[in-house]
Amino acid sequence: MSVPRFWREIPQRYNLIGKKCTQCGQIYFPPRDVCPKCRRESIGKMEDYKLKGTAKIFTYTIIHIAPTEFVKQQPYIMAIVELDEGPRLTAQLVDIEPENVKIGIRVKAVFRKIKEDGSKGVIYYGYKFKPIS
């Protein structure tokens, strides 16, 4: 991934900044420029919205065969989590053993290293989720 492309996504990936449609109140993450409910009525009305980062596990898998940049981390747990504000997102689960993962468990976002791009020497950061103990 190119560096400019990554920088563009930083606020969202570092701080869980989504969008709120001020026309209808719906919250979106990942952010989008058009509200699917309001469409043209939402133009200019999509505001940044900071999500709390608390969520529950909607579904999960344990990745045993990973893409090159993630091979050092395998096996690791990937999940779709449902944020308390409603949106769902895809993220890695950390600080939990695979056998303890269950649908419905409460989790919260933490800021972690996602991967290293060896050839460019770039380290990418972003959110992962860990259990709320």
Partner 1 sequence: MREVAVIGVGMTKFGEVWNKSLRDLFTEAGMKALINANVSGSKINAMYVGSMSAGRFVGQEHIAPLVVDYAGLAETHIPATRIESACASGGIAFREACMTVASGMYDLVVAGGVEKMTDISGGEATETLATAADQEWEGFFGMTFPGLYALIATRHMHKYGTTPDQLAEVAVKNHANGCLNPNAHFRRKITAEQVLEATRVADPLGLLDCSPISDGAAAAVICPLKDAHKFVEKPIRVLASGQGTDTLALHERADICTMEATRYAAKAAFAQAGIKPKDVDLAEVHDCFTIAEITAIEDLGFVEKGKGGKATEDGMTRLDGEIPINTSGGLKAKGHPVGATGIGQVVELVEQLRGEAGKRQVSGAKRALAHNIGGSGASCVVHILEVPE
Cα 81 to Cα 59: distance, rounded to the nearest angstrom: 7
* Of the residues 3, 24, 43, 103, which one makes contact with partner 1 according to CB under 8 A: 103
106/58 Cα distance (integer angstroms): 10
What are the tokens at 1? 């991934």
Stretch that binds Zn ion, among 1-9, 13-21, 81-89, 107-115 (CB under 5 A): 13-21
**Binding partner of 23, given partner 1, Zn ion, none, CB within 5-8 angstroms per partner class:** Zn ion
Residue 46 sits in the site that holds Zn ion (CB under 5 A):
no
By the rule CB under 8 A, 22 interacts with partner 1: no
Least Å distance, CB 80 to Zn ion, is 23
Vertex 110: Cα angle to 118 and 103 (nearest 5)? 105
Contact 48, 32 (CB under 8 A): no
* 94 is a site residue for partner 1 (CB under 8 A): no
Q: How many helices and strands, by DSSP H and E, does the chain display?
A: 1, 8
Binding residues (CB under 8 A) for partner 1: these are: 1, 9, 13, 30, 58-70, 73, 75-76, 78-80, 88-92, 98, 103, 114-115, 124, 126
